[in-house]
Amino acid sequence: MTIERVGVVGLGTMGAGIAQVCLQAGFETVGREVNEEFAQRGRGTIDHYLSRGVEKGRMTQEDKEAMLGRLTLATDLGALAGCDLVIEAVIEDIGAKTAVFKELDGLLGPDAILATNTSALSVTDIADVTARPERVVGMHFFNPAPVLKLVEVVRTAHTSDEVFDAAYAFVQRLGKEPIGCNDTPGFVVNRILIPLLNDCVRVIDEARVSPEDVDRAMTYGANWPIGPCALIDLIGIDIHVHASDALAAALGEERMAPPPRLLKMLEAGQLGRKTKQGFFKYD
């Protein structure tokens, strides 16, 4: 099947980044938000990062305008009816996601593919609320989506080979590096990374090491491009805690559960870069 028109539901940090990647790859893209203010904010985010591309010589002003010209904003899910693929990127909450999928199921054509950008929830549970579970996949982009190359393409027990292959090929057309995986808790990256990051945080208190030295240890000792504390600040403490809780509940493994330090930071509203205060302070 051919994918030419793409819908993105939710134009927050992840959704705007996914929409930007689709626009840069030449796809007509419909971005849907709950109201006009949020829709315009999402467009502004895309405009900002495309403008930086112009400033750095990665594209021309004409290229940028052509990309923005392929973007249609909407506040009604019905605007996505003509899309070949819709990628849901709303809040990481099973109720919110299944509500979107139920509505999309009644709006999209029978051949359309539905994808969820979930990082920790069961793709199968989301697919099961539709009448077309064979046409549902996970499509897990990483933040920031325009920069990081990996996309996990997640197959459930219901996903047809045709749909999986089409989703995988679409990710390649975006210029990304897809990996195929099955619908297991945490997929691949988070299953490995979340307990490792949690261990790095526990070292701070158990070994009385500063966040700066933990990050220096992993960048200079393990050749990580970014330290674990700086990475959690970039992801967002709230996002990391949510994913940790979901994996701990699914697997029952203590290492998956968020350390007390992260829970205290969450309670204090110190969420990382987005609040300008996490393990480190940001201007």
HEC-encoded secondary structure of the chain? CCCCEEEEECCCHHHHHHHHHHHHCCCEEEEECCCHHHHHHHHHHHHHHHHHHHHCCCCCHHHHHHHHHCEEEECCHHHHCCCCEEEECCCCCHHHHHHHHHHHHCCCCCCCEEEECCCCCCHHHHHCCCCCHHHEEEEEECCCCCCCCEEEEEECCCCCHHHHHHHHHHHHHCCCEEEEEECCCCCCHHHHHHHHHHHHHHHHHHCCCCHHHHHHHHHHHCCCCCCHHHHHHHHCHHHHHHHHHHHHHHHCCHHHCCCHHHHHHHHCCCCEHHHCECCCECC
Check 33, 88, 92, 152 and give the catalytic one: 152
Task: With CA atoms as reference, report the closest residue to 144 among 20, 59, 57.
Answer: 20
Residue 2 pLDDT greater than 90, yes or no: no
Cβ neighbourhood burial of 135 (10 Å; 0-12, 13-18, 19+):
buried
143 catalytic? Reply is no
Check 122, 190, 198, 244 and give the catalytic one: 190
In degrees, rounded to 5, the angle at the alpha carbon of residue 21 between the alpha carbons of residues 119 and 144 is 50
Residue 160 pLDDT greater than 90, yes or no: yes
Contact between 85 and 113 under an 8 Å Cβ cutoff? The reply is yes
Check 33, 140, 240, 244 and give the catalytic one: 140
Residue 261: count of CB within 10 angstroms of its CB: 16
Residue carrying structure tokens 């992801």:
235
Q: Model confidence at 223, in pLDDT bands (50, 70, 90)?
A: very high
119 catalytic? Reply is yes
Residue 1's pLDDT is 78
Compute CA distances 69 → 47, 54, 87, whole Å. Answer: 11, 16, 20
Tokens of 87: 């990628």
Residue 120's pLDDT is 84
Tokens of 11: 């134009």
Q: What mean pLDDT do residues 214-224 have?
A: 97
Q: Model confidence at 217, in pLDDT bands (50, 70, 90)?
A: very high
Say how far apart CA 13 and CA 218 lie, in whole Å.
27
Q: What is the pLDDT of residues 85-142, one digit of tens each?
A: 999 999 989 999 999 999 999 999 999 999 999 988 999 999 999 999 999 999 999 9
pTM, rounded to two decimals:
0.92
**Domain annotation for the chain: domains and CATH numbers:** 5-182 (3.40.50.720), 190-275 (1.10.1040.10)
Say how far apart CA 86 and CA 10 lie, in whole Å.
11
Q: What mean pLDDT do residues 60-83 have?
A: 97
Residue 264 pLDDT greater than 90, yes or no: yes
Contact between 84 and 3 under an 8 Å Cβ cutoff? The reply is yes
Check 33, 92, 119, 240 and give the catalytic one: 119
Say how far apart CA 274 and CA 28 lie, in whole Å.
30
152 catalytic? Reply is yes
Residue 143's pLDDT is 86
Residue 45's pLDDT is 97
267 catalytic? Reply is no
Residue carrying structure tokens 């007509």:
28
Q: What mean pLDDT do residues 260-272 have?
A: 98
Q: What is the pLDDT of residues 163-213, one digit of tens each?
A: 999 999 999 999 999 999 999 999 999 999 999 999 999 999 999 999 999
